[in-house]
Amino acid sequence: MRKSRNVTGGTECIQRWGGEDAMTVSIDWKALRSNAIAASKHAYAPYSEVPVGAAALADDGRVVTGCNVENVSYGLGLCAECAVVCALISGGGGRMVALAVVDATGGALMPCGRCRQLLLGHGGPELLIDHAGAPRRLADLLPEAFGPADLERVRREKP
Ligand code: THU
């Protein structure tokens, strides 16, 4: 498993994983939000006119960003969180530790249902999501989620 490095100037310190992999990661929510706001300026949202930006802190300290990209065939539009996941993987991989998503007001926008599932695959249940109140764990936003353990179980129990 990748090791995280400390990110200084943060407003929140969290302990990631247990045992010898335990690391303390500092999350600078203000910086994440401003990265998300900057990304939202690149949004391609001519159909909904709702620009969205997202920024994630990866477990190696990288900050990856993305914006929504819509399409004339409405259902093909990509959420900002999809772009963040692509940036994470194409920029070297790793896991997300914290994510901020903003709308045009600069306020926190909660990830849609599809994106919650997508984020689970690249941040896990402990991924922290920015919120107007306190940050939320993805596990609380997507309870009883379908995950890799379900695939394993079905494969194991298949007659
Ligand atoms: N959108 C996102 O980018 N992320 C979300 O979690 C919710 C919605 C985008 C999709 C679409 O381009 C616009 O917001 C309006 O729904």
Strand partners, 24: 15
Which whole-number Å values give the CA distances from 23 to 5, 87, 95, 105, in the listed order? 8, 23, 13, 34
When pLDDT is cut at 50, 70 and 90, the band that residue 6 belongs to is very low
pLDDT digits (tens, 9 = 90+) for 80-98: 999 999 999 999 999 999 9
- Given this model, what pLDDT does residue 153 score? 95
- Given this model, what pLDDT does residue 24 score? 77
- Measuring from atom 9 of ligand 1, which residue has the nearest CA? 79
- DSSP conformation letters of 43-100: -B-TTT----EEEEEETTS-EEEEE-B--SSGGG-B-HHHHHHHHHHHTT---EEEEE
10 pLDDT above the threshold of 60:
no
Tokens 């007001």 belong to residue: 105
Does the beta carbon of 57 sit less than 6 angstroms from any atom of ligand 1? Answer: no
How far away, in angstroms, is 48 Cα from ligand 1 center? 9
Does the beta carbon of 45 sit less than 6 angstroms from any atom of ligand 1? Answer: yes
Atom number in ligand 1 closest to CA 69? 12
Average pLDDT of 40-64? Answer: 98
- Given this model, what pLDDT does residue 20 score? 67
5 pLDDT above the threshold of 60:
no
Residues in the chain: 159
Among 81, 126, 152, 157, the one annotated catalytic: 81
81 is a catalytic site residue? yes
Average pLDDT of 137-144? Answer: 98
Compute, in degrees rounded to 10, the torsion defined by CA atoms 102, 50, 65, 123: 70
Does the beta carbon of 79 sit less than 6 angstroms from any atom of ligand 1? Answer: yes
